[in-house]
Amino acid sequence: MNLKAMLVKSFAVAAFTLSGAALLNTVNMNAAHAATISNDVSVVTVKANNLGYVTVYNNYAAPAATGQTLKPNSHWKVIKTALDGYGRKWYDLGKNQWVKATDVANGWYTSTTYVAPAAQTTQHTQQANQNTQQNTQTTQQQTTTQTTQTSQNNTVASQNTGSSGDAAAKAWIANRESGGSYTARNGQYIGKYQLSSSMLNGNYSAANQEQVANNYVNSRYGSWSAAQSFWQANGWY
């Protein structure tokens, strides 16, 4: 073999080695970018599409369809948020059931945009009561009236539970989630029904916990009994 041929062969080997190293670095870079990040939402809403359903995957790093699907406009609690190696966002709905962020409308219960209807109604009622009381009652009477109003809210929240079967299902879920404690905490989840702080809109009172829990369950499951059945099958609701 002459000197020229040897030089050509050496350059070819070096070029192949560098190309392989560059490819390996690219793969490693993509893999390094796949990671869980802080949740930007607590609950997401499934978007409507031409298929009439959204596919559920087993993970975000190397996703494969699980065979499960979600109905459009259904609401789901987010357990984890992650970015894959290509920078695409994914949401974990629990038990390693992942959906693409592009398949859901995030922001249904965010800390900046969502105000719980029950909490909003309570605030408006209290403000109206305070305006009337300022003209006709003393500070002591205002305090008494507010205490009475809170008691009434608790009664209404209890009545809104529905049938005795729903009441039992609600109590069952509360016991599993927090032992029935309004002050229980687990990370961002708070109170008797372990609702996120954003869902409660910063109002952790017992009355607001009851109202928001009822609204959430009625919107997603239709009843506490249905929510209990889902909890028993999945370990969360």
Q: Could you tell me the residue ranges of all domains in the chain?
A: 35-105, 117-234
Map tokens 């009434």 to a residue: 152
Reply yes or no on domain 35-105 having CATH 3.40.390.10. Answer: no
Residue 168, helix vs strand vs coil = helix
For range 109-128, the mean pLDDT: 44
Calculate the CA 195 to chain-centre distance: 9
pLDDT class of 96 with cuts at 50, 70, 90:
confident
For range 185-202, the mean pLDDT: 93
pLDDT class of 33 with cuts at 50, 70, 90:
low
- pLDDT in the model for residue 107: 45
- pLDDT in the model for residue 180: 94
pLDDT class of 40 with cuts at 50, 70, 90:
confident
Residue-wise pLDDT tens digits, 120-171? 344 545 665 666 666 656 556 655 555 555 555 545 444 454 578 999 999 9
For range 30-52, the mean pLDDT: 78
Of 108 and 60, which is predicted with more confidence? 60
- pLDDT in the model for residue 150: 53
The mean pLDDT value of the chain amounts to 76
Of 13 and 185, which is predicted with more confidence? 185
pLDDT class of 51 with cuts at 50, 70, 90:
confident
The CA distances from residue 220 to 12, 47, 176, 217, 227, in Å, are 62, 15, 19, 5, 8
Give the type of residue at 143. Answer: T
- pLDDT in the model for residue 19: 45
- pLDDT in the model for residue 140: 61
183-219 per-residue burial string, b: 16 or more CB within 10 A, e: under 16? ebeeeebbbbbbbbbbbbbebebebbbbbbbbbbbbe
Alpha-carbon span 233 to 84, nearest angstrom: 28
| Burial label, 114 (beta-carbon count in 10 A; 0-12, 13-18, 19+) | middle
Contact assessment for residue 204 and residue 190, using Cβ atoms and an 8 Å cutoff: yes
**Structure pTM?**
0.39
